[in-house]
Amino acid sequence: MKRSALSDLLRSIVIAALPVAAVGCCSDRDVEVEEQVDAFVAEADDGGVLPQAVCVSVCKPPLRETLKQVYGCHVTEATDAGITAVACDEHVEHCGSIFPVAGGRPPLGLRPRGAIVADDPAGAFFAQMAHVEAAAIDGFVELATALAVHGAPASLVDDARRAADDERRHARVAAAFARRFGAGALPPVEIDAVAAPSLETLALANAREGCVLETYGAVVTQWQSRTAGDRVVRRAFVNIARDELRHAELAFAVARWLHARLDAVARRRVRDLQRATADELARDVDRDSDPRLVAALGLPDRDAALGLVADLRARLWS
Contact residues: Fe ion, CB under 5 A: 133, 167, 170, 244, 247
Cα dihedral 169/219/268/279 (nearest 10): 120
Amino acid occupying residue 264: A
- Least spacing, CB of residue 297 vs Fe ion, in Å: 15
- Least spacing, CB of residue 49 vs Fe ion, in Å: 38
State which residue, 163 or 266, has the beta carbon closest to Fe ion. Answer: 163
State which residue, 17 or 102, has the beta carbon closest to Fe ion. Answer: 102
- Least spacing, CB of residue 216 vs Fe ion, in Å: 11
Strands (E), 131-274: none
State which residue, 122 or 218, has the beta carbon closest to Fe ion. Answer: 218
CB contact at 8 A, 109 and 73: no
State which residue, 97 or 215, has the beta carbon closest to Fe ion. Answer: 215
CB contact at 8 A, 211 and 255: yes
Q: How far apart are CA 7 and CA 247, in angstroms?
A: 10
Q: How far apart are CA 218 and CA 195, in angstroms?
A: 29
- Least spacing, CB of residue 137 vs Fe ion, in Å: 9
Amino acid occupying residue 17: A
Residue 96: what are its φ and ψ, rounded to 5°?
A: 155, 180
- Quick one: 60 exposed, middle or buried, by C-beta within 10 A (0-12, 13-18, 19+)? middle
State which residue, 247 or 302, has the beta carbon closest to Fe ion. Answer: 247
- Least spacing, CB of residue 304 vs Fe ion, in Å: 21
Its sign, for the CA torsion 171, 176, 177, 179, is: positive
State which residue, 170 or 292, has the beta carbon closest to Fe ion. Answer: 170
- Least spacing, CB of residue 149 vs Fe ion, in Å: 22
